[in-house]
Amino acid sequence: MKEIKGIKMDFNFSEQQNMLRNEARRFLTKECPKTKVKELEKDEKGYDLQMWRNMADMGWMGLVLPEEYGGLNADFIDLMVLMEEMGRNILPGPFFSTVALCALPLLEYGNDVQKVGYLPQIARGEKIWTVAMTESSGNYRASAIKAEAKLEDGEYVLNGDKFFVSYANVADYLLVIARTAKSKAPKKGLTFFIVDAKNPGIHIETIPTLTGEKQCKVSFKKVKIPRKDILGKVGQGWEMAEHIMRKATVLKCAEVSGACQAILDMANTYAKERIQFGKPIGSFQVIQHQLVDMLIDVEGLQYLVYQAAWLISTGAPCDLQIAMTKAKANEVYRRIALSGIKIHGAIGFTMDHDIGLYYRRVLGAESVLGDTDLHLEKVAANIGL
Amino acid sequence: MDFKLGEKEDALREEIRRFAKAEIPPDFIYNFLDEESRDEDWAFTMSISKKLAQKGWLVMAWPKKYGGQEASYLEQMVMAMEATYWGIPGLGMGISGTAWVGPSLMLYGSEEQRQKYLPSIASGDPDGVWCTGYSEPNAGSDFANIQTRAIREGDEYVVNGQKVWTSCAHRARWCWIAVVTDPNAAKRQHGISLLIVDMKSPGITIRPLLNYSGVHIFNEVFFDNVRVPTANLVGQENRGWYQLMQSLAYERHSVGAQTYGAGKRMLESLVEYAVETKEDGVSLSQNAVIRHKLAERAIELETLKMLSYEIAWKMSQGVIPIYEASRNKAYGDCLQERMANTGTEILGAYSQIDQNSRFAKLKGAIQHLYLLFPGITIAAGTDEIEKNIIGQFKLGLPKSY
């Protein structure tokens, strides 16, 4: 970047971030074409093991982990860049659940034994993780968590059902949040546990979705958990959950921003190629203005995502900006996916075309980590209402 | 990546706040553009222009030798945001002088013109008030269709024609005007020139055009054999179109920042109003519909803030922001429309009350925005034209008009 005296602001990505973006785009374009995405929608596991291993070899699973755990010690913004590319291309599989929802909390809240035990495995791509937080309501409020873990003879015994647990069908470990103490305040008395997915008391059922992503119902019946498998502190689960969700939400929004950019690019290309009335449909103002509206939406979303990621990387408080970003991502993704299909016309409505893959995924991205209403409510509470 | 403003910008922000507290009476409410209408508002505005000049803020971006401070684009952005946030009038000197006449003279004007015209703008002098003669009855969005003719006779041009929607013509000392100097040019754009016209010249008639709320902002201006010295030609004859397009793109950059500042203030007022206003003992701020509407507006403002930061940063890197300026104008217009709609919906029956009535809420600011924003979406390029520009220059789509 050109050095300008006295200016600290910088909208540029670093050289390293640009390299990572290029590497990710090359890899995903080649290894994960849309034919593969469609194939994996029908696959029971929902991800490609060889692709997963290759990603681990490139260091993606351990991107932001310290070197001592087999990671590359990269910045949160680097991970955001990677998520943008995964969203752009559509990468099916448990990367988000393993890295964003589990590796980051393990790094922050795990004790030395847990970190040494689990993080290098994640970095090497050997183990898949997911978080079991939401229950039958599907929402992200503390009051929705009913699963209970009772201390009996020095061990916790976990009972309850979790819903919308992504990729539990292939997970080796689950991070489960449950009630360990009764309290009138729903945010109190919650604790996180590390649970081996092969525990005999666990039953996992894959819920068919129209997004192509795997969602599961996970039932816990008298699942015994030793105290050593508590993550963080007993009773501090909700604070941890909020912290986990902050980072994960920004990463999910990055995935959405990448997807939105991809839709815009596809629609813009198509508008220049498709001839009707003897000219490209992109020469008509109705189409142009739709594309411009999409562009303004995408660029606005991108800058909110980048700002939120930057705030997180500096450690500054940013609950307001994160809530704004998720609400915006939800609204923008819906609008752009629909406009993308409309510009394509009937071909956009077919399985042969790729744009419908994004349109279907809107619904998963929108509800995960809080729907629009939840985040608008957070924004309202943060601006003095 | 780093989105933080520097210490310099933070200090400037604080200084502007102090200036506003000291110079702007607490009951004053700045209704953008309305200051051109009533004499007492205009006098107050010009008194503030003078004080802004003394602070070095009126033309802060200009080179020091022309009375400026060589302020960075980020400082200019902070000024645009804070001045509208605090409701400080007078930064425009009308709407032309500080924003584009000065910068264009620096780009294309002769040294003699710079010496003659820049000091009065920079000092906030009444002689530094300009109006701009671009639009005509048959040249709105199709600006190249102007008909006002300038014919050279010796060392003078003789100007005949009509301009319309000319803001501030009734206050201006000078007119920055686009005229046809070669009606036979193969392309219309190749026959246009820029002139400086003394508004005191014989042959000029100004007819007020009241807007639909009775406010006198713009005018029709008629030119009947107005004689203009050839020394008042800006740049090259028949190159006016290109000079003007480049300077326009360059000077539109702060529109988004201005909208952000004003919008932020309005959102804060509406939040305060919603908290304080009770219905059946329950504050409006407890109403989920109102909460969500205001949250949406807050998100749009945050988006506009980032888009404004981006433009200022790009310009600091030497980029001429063609599509970005159009993008921010279009997005800012949309934001104002939504803010006005949300505001009037929250005020309910009170939104119909005259701004100056003692019954008006929030000093009539919401009504003012409601009445203003349709004009704003048209002025300086309609949203549709802005979107055409973005489609063409950013998305690479065929020219559509």
pLDDT in tens, B102-142: 989 999 999 999 999 999 999 999 999 999 999 999 999 99
Of A279, A12, A268, the residue nearest B390 (C-alpha): A268
H or E, element range at B137: none
Claim to verify: residue B162 and residue B226 sit in the same structural domain: yes
**pLDDT, tens digit, 9 for 90 and up, residues B232-251:** 999 999 999 999 887 776 66
For A3, counting Cβ atoms within 10 Å of its Cβ (0-12 exposed, 13-18 middle, 19+ buried), the class is exposed
Q: How far apart are CA B7 and CA B5, in angstroms?
A: 7
Average confidence (pLDDT) over A265-290: 97
Q: Looking up tokens 């604790």, which residue turns up? A: A191
Q: How far apart are CA B247 and CA B238, in angstroms?
A: 16
| Contact present, A217 and A165 (Cβ < 8 Å) | yes
> The tokens of B89 are what?
């009038």
The fold adopted by the segment(s) A131-235 is Butyryl-CoA Dehydrogenase, subunit A; domain 2 (2.40.110)
The fold adopted by the segment(s) A239-382 is Butyryl-CoA Dehydrogenase, subunit A; domain 3 (1.20.140)
| Three-state secondary structure call for residue B210 | strand
Claim to verify: residue B231 and residue B258 sit in the same structural domain: no
Last residue of a domain, one of B206, B238, B270: B238
Claim to verify: residue B257 and residue B316 sit in the same structural domain: yes
Q: How far apart are CA A141 and CA A130, in angstroms?
A: 19
Claim to verify: residue B379 and residue B278 sit in the same structural domain: yes
Q: DSSP class of residue A173?
A: E
DSSP lists the bridge partners of residue A196 as A173
Average confidence (pLDDT) over A39-64: 97
Q: Is residue B54 part of a domain?
A: yes
Q: What are the boundaries of each domain within chain A?
A: 15-128, 131-235, 239-382
All residues of chain A having their beta carbon less than 8 Å from the beta carbon of residue B271 are 383-385
Q: Where are the alpha helices (DSSP H) in B183-287?
A: 240-251, 255-276
**pLDDT, tens digit, 9 for 90 and up, residues A124-133:** 999 999 999 9
Claim to verify: residue B267 and residue B313 sit in the same structural domain: yes
Whether B285 contacts chain A with CB within 8 A: yes
Q: How far apart are the first and last CA of chain A?
A: 41
Last residue of a domain, one of B192, B208, B238: B238
Claim to verify: residue B262 and residue B370 sit in the same structural domain: yes
Claim to verify: residue B228 and residue B336 sit in the same structural domain: no
pLDDT greater at residue B207 or residue B35: B207
Q: Which of B84-98, B161-175, B243-257, B379-393 has the lowest mean pLDDT?
A: B243-257
Q: What percent of chain A has pLDDT over 90?
A: 97
**Residue A190 CB neighbour total at 10 angstroms:** 25
Task: Give the CATH number for residue B153.
Answer: 2.40.110.10
Q: Looking up tokens 């939040």, which residue turns up? A: B271
Chain A closest-CA separation from residue B264 CA (Å): 11
Domain ranges, residue B158: 130-238
Average confidence (pLDDT) over B292-306: 98
Q: How far apart are CA B193 and CA B149, in angstroms?
A: 10
Say what the pLDDT of residue B318 is.
87
Chain A closest-CA separation from residue B95 CA (Å): 27
All residues of chain A having their beta carbon less than 8 Å from the beta carbon of residue B310 are 11, 303
Cβ within 8 Å of residue B215, ≥6 positions away: B33, B34, B37
The active-site residue, picked from B9, B35, B237, B251, is B251
| Average pLDDT value over all residues in chain A | 96
| Average pLDDT value over all residues in chain B | 94
| Three-state secondary structure call for residue B211 | coil
| Contact present, B46 and B53 (Cβ < 8 Å) | no
All residues of chain B having their beta carbon less than 8 Å from the beta carbon of residue A2 are 317-318
Task: Give the CATH number for residue B82.
Answer: 1.10.540.10
Nearest CB partner across the interface for A6, out of B8, B292, B330: B8
Q: Is residue B85 part of a domain?
A: yes
All residues of chain A having their beta carbon less than 8 Å from the beta carbon of residue B283 are none
Q: How far apart are the first and last CA of chain B?
A: 39
Nearest CB partner across the interface for B6, out of A8, A292, A295: A8
Residue B112 designated active-site: no
What residues of chain B, 56 to 85, have a C-beta less than 8 Å from chain A?
Answer: 72, 74
Say what the pLDDT of residue A3 is.
39
Q: Is residue B383 part of a domain?
A: yes
Q: How far apart are CA B75 and CA B89, in angstroms?
A: 18
Q: Which of B35-39, B207-211, B263-267, B388-392 has the lowest mean pLDDT?
A: B35-39
Q: Is residue B305 part of a domain?
A: yes
CATH number of A15-128: 1.10.540.10
Claim to verify: residue B374 and residue B277 sit in the same structural domain: yes
Of A336, A341, A266, A269, the residue nearest A301 (C-alpha): A336
Q: How many domains does chain B have?
A: 3
pLDDT greater at residue B253 or residue B19: B19
For B317, counting Cβ atoms within 10 Å of its Cβ (0-12 exposed, 13-18 middle, 19+ buried), the class is middle
Last residue of a domain, one of B189, B213, B238: B238
Of B120, B305, B82, the residue nearest A300 (C-alpha): B305
Cα B346 → chain centroid: 28
- Which among A292, A295, A306 is the top mutation candidate for probing chain B, defined by the most B β-carbons within 10 Å of its own β-carbon? A292
**pLDDT, tens digit, 9 for 90 and up, residues B167-198:** 999 999 999 999 999 999 999 999 999 999 99
- Which among B395, B399, B400, B401 is the top mutation candidate for probing chain A, defined by the most A β-carbons within 10 Å of its own β-carbon? B395
